Amino acid sequence: MLSLKKPTLIKMSLYALFLGVVHSGYAADSSYLDRADRVNGWSTRSVFEPLYQKHRASVVEILEDGHQIALGTVVSEDGFIVTKASEFGMALEVRDAANQTYVPEFISVDPKNDLALLKIKADGMKPVQWSDDATPSMGQWMISPHEDETQVRVGVVSATQRTIPKKPGALGVQLMNVIDFLRFSSFKDFNEFRSKVDQQKRPVDQFLAERLSLDDLDQDSGEGENQDSPDVRILELLNDRIFRKTFVRGEQLEGIQLSKPTEELLAKEASQEEEDRFSYRSVLNLMILEDAFPELIIPQLKGGLITGVRPDSGAEKAGVMLEDVVVAVNGQNVMTSSDIIQIVQQHGPGENLKLQIHRGKQELVKTVTLGYFDTAFPELDVNIELSGDISDRRDGYQEVIQHEIPIPPKAMGGPLLDLEGRVVGVNIARYNRVTTFALPAALVRASIEKLK
Amino acid sequence: MRKTIVSLILLGTIWAQALICGADEPSVEVFLQTQRKVQAVLSKALESTIGVGSGGTGVIVSEDGLVLTAAHVSGEPGRRITCRMPDGKRVRAKTLGRFDHADAGMVRLEGEGPWPFSPLGPRKSVKAGQWCFVLGHPGGFDLDRGAVLRVGKVIFARSDTIRTDCELLRGDSGGPLFNLDGEVIGINSRIGDPLDDNYHAPIDAFHKMWDPLLAGEDLPNTRRGSDRGDLGVDVETHVKGVVVTRVRENTAAVDAGILVDDVILSVDGYSIDDSSDYRWAIGKNRPGASVNIEYLRGESTSELTVELGEAPRRGRWRRRGF
């Protein structure tokens, strides 16, 4: 250190004192809670540092290509580690608290529970202590490692322990009934539409965007919502399974809503204006025509028209393209996009569906692996958009503990600890801004036994 | 030697500083105490938390079925809506008054009571740093899940909003913010991007507007542009009310004889808690409207009736011929 002259020394001391006084005055502002003092502020959560440090060695990083993708929980001295299965491929590495890296000797996966068991060659690892508490109570404080596993975060058990049903998989496409498209575009058939598009030398999506607003499919307008009423609501019974509401403003198609027919809807439909009913008749006529004269093949009047393909979706990877018309799924013929959706909804992410497609004059078959619905269509759930980073697989769990500890997807696979340092569960999904799911200890232990 | 002295002095100031503001040291014991208190009042809080309308939450605050919720959940007064009890049962209800400025709304359940209810927190009782908890239905009412609990702390409390670090989402709106005694101190209103950006309508706004809300009034908002009434003073939040820090030239305040250091306590009977309150109480009127101002000058309280002027246009300094 430098040798200081007396005046400098005095100046420095006074300055330090001044800073101290100013800072304490500022910090004592009682009308605003500083970030450090909030529940997950460093000052408050540092209270749990001693507790966490005792168990820090039971948490490892799971790496793929050198990047952390999850955490792992050590469950045996000889190196068994449990983590979230759906986050990775197979080229993994494990990094422990001492920063040593290992390549797992084996990896075993339980897809139903979204768990994977890894074994690394190590001795004297520190396994977690499992809790006997099968159902921690709502309001009970828990801690978990953050994605940076040297840091801890805290929160309470926030809702009832329960099953989370599996959401169906998604192709990753936007669909429209071919028949609706043709009617609103007033073309005789698809070939005429195609030639019009070719003549104008514009891509289909642009063409569609100009003529229609593609807010169709399952936009549920509930009762209390404030929505501008469109000019016309055309209500039609398409067949005994499907009721369609079409919203039109001026010449613009605002949206189409498909639903099951109900008494209420049928009554409303019957009382519509005559000219609106024309559209109902025209559709019905076409269907009657096809039934009566099956040899009159109008192939392009049926099926779902692909009006959008989501990036990175199963559909995109399989080579499904804009303008493709899906006429059958897994061998089952489909009349409308609703038919397609009904079939897709019976399958989960990871399953394959065979799509029979008409592309212009070509007939193709594409096999699509279904992805996660929320990943393909995040904008359909506003809470997803408001939640930042969330896990891809976040549903289909036999039983979960729901808590509010704010940790990101990369912290999944880490332990959920009570204030006694016992592991109550393993974090399995960052669901949204207010929710993280953990699989209860009993379920994880049962799965580990099967996987060994 | 010199090094030691400097280090000692620096350490000394840090230590003294810690002493000064070490008042509320966090500890595991504080967390456990909070947990005990929350769990003691949780079942009653859950019983009184209901789904309101199509995707909002509310809390029953009286045996005869009065419900507090967010103005943007209940919407226009006089509408029939459906609420959902914790057991899933649907109950018809009618929307009462709405106070948009604080996002405060009221609803009345139809049907026989007695309804399970939570008590209200008292006036002026919410302080930054106090522990609190939220119940709500994020993502919509879910019978298997029930209402979702979040425990956190108050970050600040203003007359028009309270901010906490209890994470909220769509669907939580209108749900209750409780203190550790299980009293309602706020109603969930909106969020910002960061996880600790969560805002609630203060219970004080409900207290102050209780009668108009109960009577089904659609309370006015702060008016816009030059259609907004103005007194002509700058104010700052004071211990009680707001203190006048400047009286602008050629304004209604000058005509009425308002002076710097006067403390405005209420406007038209509405108690002014801070400058945000003041801006609304004056700004909801048109220019030319007559308002009653209660103020403190020195030791004595008096009242004035003032005709408001027009709110100054932006860029008013141009008029002074810079």
Write out the DSSP string of A195-225.
HHHHHHT--HHHHHHHHB----S-----TT-
Q: For the residues A300-306, what does the mean pLDDT come to?
A: 75
On chain B, the residues whose CB falls within 8 A of the CB of A395 are: none
- Residue pair A105/A156 in contact (Cβ under 8 Å)? The answer is no
Q: For the residues A99-115, what does the mean pLDDT come to?
A: 92
pLDDT interval class at A10 (50, 70, 90): confident
Task: State pLDDT tens for residues A214-263.
Answer: 333 223 333 222 234 444 455 555 555 555 665 555 444 455 555 556 67
Predicted pLDDT at A226: 29
Q: For the residues A183-195, what does the mean pLDDT come to?
A: 57
* Separation CA A52–CA A151 (nearest Å): 9
Predicted pLDDT at A378: 85
Q: Do A434 and B169 touch (CB under 8 A)?
A: yes
Quick check: A127 pLDDT over 80?
yes
Say which residue, A210 or B157, is predicted with more confidence: B157
- When mean pLDDT is compared across A166-180, A248-262, A365-379, the lowest value belongs to A248-262
* Separation CA B107–CA B95 (nearest Å): 4
Number of Cβ within a 10 Å radius of residue A390? 20
Task: State pLDDT tens for residues A22-44.
Answer: 555 444 568 899 999 999 999 98
Quick check: A11 pLDDT over 80?
no
Quick check: B316 pLDDT over 50?
no
Identify which of B138, B47, B48, B52 has the alpha carbon closest to the alpha carbon of residue B95.
B52
CATH of A169-216+231-369, one of 2.40.50.100, 2.30.42.10, 1.10.287.1770, 3.30.420.40: 2.30.42.10
Q: For the residues A190-214, what does the mean pLDDT come to?
A: 54
Return the residue of A nearest to B191 by Cα: A386
CATH class (in words) of the domain with range A44-165+389-451: mainly beta
Predicted pLDDT at A266: 72
C-alpha angle B182-B187-B192 in degrees, rounded to nearest 5? 125
Quick check: A298 pLDDT over 50?
no
Q: Do B17 and A20 touch (CB under 8 A)?
A: yes
User: Looking at chain A from residue 123 to 162, which residues have their Cβ under 8 Å from any Cβ of chain B?
Assistant: 137-141, 154-160, 162
On chain A, the residues whose CB falls within 8 A of the CB of B5 are: 9, 13
Q: For the residues A349-355, what does the mean pLDDT come to?
A: 94
Number of Cβ within a 10 Å radius of residue B225? 9
Predicted pLDDT at A211: 47
- A222 at the B interface (CB within 8 A)? yes
User: Looking at chain A from residue 32 to 61, which residues have their Cβ under 8 Å from any Cβ of chain B?
Assistant: 32-33, 35, 37-40, 43-44, 46-48, 51
Predicted pLDDT at B14: 58
Return the residue of B nearest to A12 by Cα: B6
Quick check: B81 pLDDT over 80?
yes
Q: For the residues A361-365, what does the mean pLDDT come to?
A: 87
A169-216+231-369 and A44-165+389-451 share a CATH fold: no
Identify which of A280, A264, A188 has the alpha carbon closest to the alpha carbon of residue A223.
A264
* Separation CA B115–CA B65 (nearest Å): 6
Quick check: A21 pLDDT over 70?
no
Quick check: A201 pLDDT over 80?
no
Out of B2, B128, B144, whose CB is closest to A33?
A: B128
- Residue pair B165/A69 in contact (Cβ under 8 Å)? The answer is no
Out of B82, B138, B165, whose CB is closest to A383?
A: B138
One-letter amino acid of B43: S
Quick check: A55 pLDDT over 50?
yes
DSSP for A139-201, written as a single string: T-EEEEE-SSTTSEEEEEB-S--EEEPPPPEE--EEEEEHHHHHHHHT-SSHHHHHHHHHHHT
Q: For the residues A70-89, what does the mean pLDDT come to?
A: 90
Q: Do A35 and B20 touch (CB under 8 A)?
A: no
Predicted pLDDT at A182: 59
Say which residue, B224 or B307, is predicted with more confidence: B307
Q: How many CA atoms lie within 13 A of A88 on its CB side?
A: 30
Q: What is the CA radius of gyration of chain B?
A: 23
At a CB cut-off of 8 Å and minimum separation 6, what does A288 contact?
Answer: none
Q: Report H helices in A228-305.
A: 263-270, 274-292
Q: How many CA atoms lie within 13 A of A320 on its CB side?
A: 33
Q: For the residues A317-328, what does the mean pLDDT come to?
A: 90
Task: State pLDDT tens for residues A379-403.
Answer: 888 889 889 899 999 999 999 999 9
Domains and CATH numbers, chain B: 26-218 (2.40.10.120), 225-311 (2.30.42.10)
* Separation CA A297–CA B177 (nearest Å): 63
Return the residue of A nearest to B19 by Cα: A24
Identify which of B281, B297, B293 has the alpha carbon closest to the alpha carbon of residue B102.
B281
How many CB pairs below 8 Å do chains A and B form together? 169
pLDDT interval class at A293 (50, 70, 90): very low
Predicted pLDDT at B3: 67
Say which residue, B13 or A252, is predicted with more confidence: B13
Indicate the angle between helix axes A178-185 and A204-211, nearest 10 degrees.
60
* Separation CA A97–CA A147 (nearest Å): 13
Say which residue, B197 or A88, is predicted with more confidence: B197
**Pick among B1, B7, B17, B191 to test the A interface (most A CBs inside 10 A):** B17
Out of B14, B54, B165, whose CB is closest to A38?
A: B165
- A270 at the B interface (CB within 8 A)? no
Joined tokens for residue B151: 């425990």
Sorted by where each begins, the domain ranges of chain A are 44-165+389-451, 169-216+231-369
Shortest alpha-carbon distance between residue A284 and chain B (Å) = 34
Quick check: A286 pLDDT over 80?
no
The chain-wide mean pLDDT, for chain B, equals 91
Helix (H) or strand (E) holding A428: strand A423-432
**Pick among B4, B145, B161, B188 to test the A interface (most A CBs inside 10 A):** B145
Joined tokens for residue B17: 């500083």
- When mean pLDDT is compared across A11-20, B150-159, B280-289, the lowest value belongs to A11-20
Q: For the residues A431-435, what does the mean pLDDT come to?
A: 96
**Pick among B142, B148, B154 to test the A interface (most A CBs inside 10 A):** B148
At a CB cut-off of 8 Å and minimum separation 6, what does B13 contact?
Answer: A16, A17, A19, A20, A21
Joined tokens for residue A233: 């609501």
Cα-Cα end-to-end distance for chain B: 60
* Separation CA A354–CA A330 (nearest Å): 5
At a CB cut-off of 8 Å and minimum separation 6, what does A156 contact?
Answer: A138, A139, A140, A141, A142, A403, A404, B35, B38, B149, B150, B151
Out of B9, B27, B153, whose CB is closest to A39?
A: B153
Quick check: B2 pLDDT over 60?
yes
Q: For the residues B286-305, what does the mean pLDDT come to?
A: 95
- A436 at the B interface (CB within 8 A)? no
* Separation CA B245–CA B226 (nearest Å): 23
Say which residue, A205 or B113, is predicted with more confidence: B113
Return the residue of A nearest to B168 by Cα: A434
Return the residue of B nearest to A28 by Cα: B21
- Residue pair B168/B188 in contact (Cβ under 8 Å)? The answer is yes
- When mean pLDDT is compared across A4-8, B12-16, B62-66, the lowest value belongs to B12-16
Predicted pLDDT at B133: 98
- pTM comes to 0.78
Predicted pLDDT at A197: 59
Quick check: B183 pLDDT over 60?
yes
DSSP state at residue A263: H
- Residue pair B56/B73 in contact (Cβ under 8 Å)? The answer is yes
Q: Dihedral sign for Cα B162, B167, B173, B176, please.
A: negative
Out of A140, A159, A432, whose CB is closest to B169?
A: A432
What percent of chain A stands above pLDDT 90?
Answer: 47
pLDDT interval class at B6 (50, 70, 90): low
Say which residue, B153 or A220, is predicted with more confidence: B153
- Residue pair B237/A31 in contact (Cβ under 8 Å)? The answer is no
Task: State pLDDT tens for residues B213-272.
Answer: 999 999 999 998 889 999 999 999 999 999 999 999 999 999 999 999 999 999 999 999
Joined tokens for residue A395: 């549903």
Q: How many CA atoms lie within 13 A of A189 on its CB side?
A: 10
> Which residue's structure tokens are 């002493």?
B19
Out of B6, B127, B165, whose CB is closest to A39?
A: B165
* Separation CA A9–CA A23 (nearest Å): 21
Shortest alpha-carbon distance between residue B302 and chain A (Å) = 30
On chain A, the residues whose CB falls within 8 A of the CB of B168 are: 433-434
Predicted pLDDT at A236: 53
Q: What is the side-by-side order of every strand in the sheet holding A106-110?
A: A101-102, A92-95, A59-64, A67-74, A80-84, A115-119, A106-110
Q: Do A35 and B2 touch (CB under 8 A)?
A: no
* Separation CA A147–CA A412 (nearest Å): 8
Predicted pLDDT at A388: 87
* Separation CA A119–CA A215 (nearest Å): 49
Predicted pLDDT at A175: 85
